[in-house]
Structure formats: structure tokens, C-alpha cells
Amino acid sequence: MPDRFALLLCLLFITIQHQFGFQKRKRKHHELNQGEIDSQVFHEKIRSIILEGTKSLVESAQPLGYLNGETNMEKEPLPSQECNLAALCEMAKELPLMDDEVQEQGIQLLVSEDGCVSHVDLFSRVTESRADWATVVTLMGEEYVIPPRTAFLLSDFTRIQPLIHYGTRFDLIVMDPPWENKSVKRSRRYSSLPSSQLKQLPIPLLASPNCLVVTWVTNRPSHVRFVCDELFPHWGVEVVAKWFWVKVTTSGQFVFPLDSPHKKPYEMLVLGRYRYSADTSARCEKFRVSPLMTYYTVLHSGDSKCLELFARNLQPGWTSWGNEVLKFQHVSFFNLTPSYSTVSFRSPRISCYFLCS
């Protein structure tokens, strides 16, 4: 009896569904928007370059003992240190700006001549560490590892003036802007920045003649076009090459499938050269060989001055700027001996770079 009752209910439901047109809604086929179509076309254009270039680099690296699946990384997970530096930068906006005369006095030393940590204003002046070794210092109640011969400014766009007053013209400027994209917006890992605001960066006031400007770009074709057609020309920077940064595992495999519709295992770097004046053209002629040679020359020249914008960590010998410039310098990201004589970062990055000009 219960089976017959259930059958009658089922027949009744089918009748009602048919009579009133209640049918299961078919899922619409997802149509690609123009941005997704552009991305797909771009990927197909460079796919063979990424595949063949990475294969060649991995095959060259493995006989030398690299990318063989072994790693020195510790098994323990990376620390989940919460970074409040961006929030502190927001709070610092309430403080009065230093006048130009004070800013033009130059830098402030992190460690004084007697070896003591100086009282520093991290938000209003560029801070320098002139030591030839890494230093562990307490700043804002937290311990940070400061690399040797480094300088930094903790601020955002509204307080970038001290970097200009620093008085240094740089031979290499590298930046990885917080581009707007859906995954960042969903995860809220950091605040993104509209592309148009990047034009406010005072590159002409920071770049030396023939300065190499390197900008990381997402795989969005509109971002690449913006950098090449609007941003670089606005700064007076000439595009000279495009590189790809390919992310691979310790065994040389792509970290994501090459044809993944969501995340690609590569990003682009656009390399440009700040236009030099006529009277410096002869002196800069030697840099015309290739972008790769220029990059190598700048990095390995002992007196080259290098700057990273939107930095989240410090590099020995570099100047760094950003509202999270000390994020990955927190002591929890390092292995330290009790005497602090040895410092090593806990998460090395494995990458392949190659040129596509």
C-alpha cells in the first residue's frame, strides 16, 4: 500500500509539472566576455614559447643538480604572521607632514654608531642600515630582520615625498603593483590599486638617465596594454623587452597546469628604459646590446643603485618602498641562531625566467 501511494504521488507531481511548465532549468553555457577572449588568444600566442622555454631551462638545470625534486625547505608550515603595517600607514596619515627643510636633511640611521637601535620615524623619513651584516631590531613592538646596507620607507602614495627628498637617482627600478583582479578582491589579502593611480608614481624624479624600469604585470591583456601604451609613455619610459616568469615545482613541473582556465603558471615582466637626454647618449651607448645584458650589468655593478616599489621585503644593497615594506622581514619568517650570526629565509622561491622581446 505505501508503494502504491508513493507511485500515485509521483504521477501527480509529473502531471502538475507538465501542466504548469515546471521544468528543470537548463544551465546556460558560460559565454566568455571580451577580456576572457583576449586572455585566451594571448595564451595561445605565447603557449609554445612558455612550454619550450621552460623545458629547455629545466633540462639545462637538472644536470647541474637543480630541479631534481629535492628541497631544503623545512616541513613546518610558514608562519601566519598578521601584518598590520598597512593599517599603521593609514594611522600615520593623521600625523603632520614634516616640512621640506627637515626632509631634505636626508636619511635617518637605523643603528647608531655605538651599535644601538636609534629612535626612528619609519613613516616620514627614509631609514638606512649601513651595517655589513643582517640586524635584528625591534620596531613598533615587533622584531624584524634588516639586511645589510639597505634603506626603506614605510608609506603609501600620500607619503612618498621622503623618497623623492632622499636625493638618490636609481639605475634600476622594479615594481610589482597590487593590480586589481577578482581573486585578490575575494581573498582580501591586500588592497588593490586602480591602474590609473600608478601614473602618480614619480618615476622621472627617481630614475637616473637610462634607468631600467621593470614592471610585473598580471596575465590580463588590458593590464599589459596599459603598461606598454599608457603608463611607460607617461613616465617617458621606452619598452625594450617582455620577459616571462614561470613558476615551477622543485621537480621542474608547472605549479599550475599550463592550460588552466583559472590560474596560469607564468606572469609577465615588462622592461623599459627611461629616456636619456642627448648629452648622455654617448655614455649610455654601451647598454644598447640587449635588455638581458643591461639587466645583468645593473645588478652586478658594485655602484648601481636599485629601488623596489610596492615592496613587501628588503634586499641587501637596495632601497625599498611600500605600505608593507617590512612584512616578510618579520623574525617569524627566518631561522636564527641564538647569536643571530646566521640568518636564512624559510621559503626560497623557485623560478624560471626567459626573454620574449
Q: In what order do the strands lie in the sheet with 306-309?
A: 108-109, 127-129, 150-154, 318-322, 306-309, 170-175, 207-217, 266-274, 237-247, 351-355
pLDDT at 341: 47
Considering the domain boundaries, does residue 75 fall inside one? no
- pLDDT tens for 244-284 read 999 999 999 999 999 998 889 999 999 999 986 544 343 33
pLDDT bracket for residue 325 (50, 70, 90): very high
Considering the domain boundaries, does residue 76 fall inside one? no
Considering the domain boundaries, does residue 20 fall inside one? no
Q: How large is the C-alpha radius of gyration of the chain?
A: 26
Residue 192 CA: distances (Å) to CA of 53, 154, 211: 31, 17, 26
E-state strands within 248-309 = 266-274, 306-309
Considering the domain boundaries, does residue 100 fall inside one? no
Task: Supply 99's cell numbers.
Answer: 616640512
Question: Which residue(s) pair with 207 in the sheet?
Answer: 170
Count of CB atoms situated within 10 Å of the CB of 132: 8
- pLDDT tens for 37-53 read 888 999 999 999 999 99
SS3 174: strand
pLDDT at 80: 62
Cα–Cα distance between 177 and 81 in angstroms, integer?
22
How much is the pTM? Answer: 0.78
Considering the domain boundaries, does residue 79 fall inside one? no
Considering the domain boundaries, does residue 17 fall inside one? no
pLDDT at 107: 81
Q: Total structural domains in the chain?
A: 1
Considering the domain boundaries, does residue 21 fall inside one? no
CA 43 to chain CA mean position, Å = 21
Count of CB atoms situated within 10 Å of the CB of 2: 6
- Residue 232: give the domain boundaries: 36-68+85-94+105-277+288-356
Report the pLDDT averaged over residues 326-352: 65
Considering the domain boundaries, does residue 47 fall inside one? yes
pLDDT at 348: 40
| Mean pLDDT over the full length of the chain | 78
Exposure string of 87-110, with b = 16+ CB inside 10 Å and e = fewer, is eebeebeeeeebeeeebeeebbeb
Q: Which of 23-37, 44-58, 183-197, 333-347 has the highest mean pLDDT?
A: 44-58
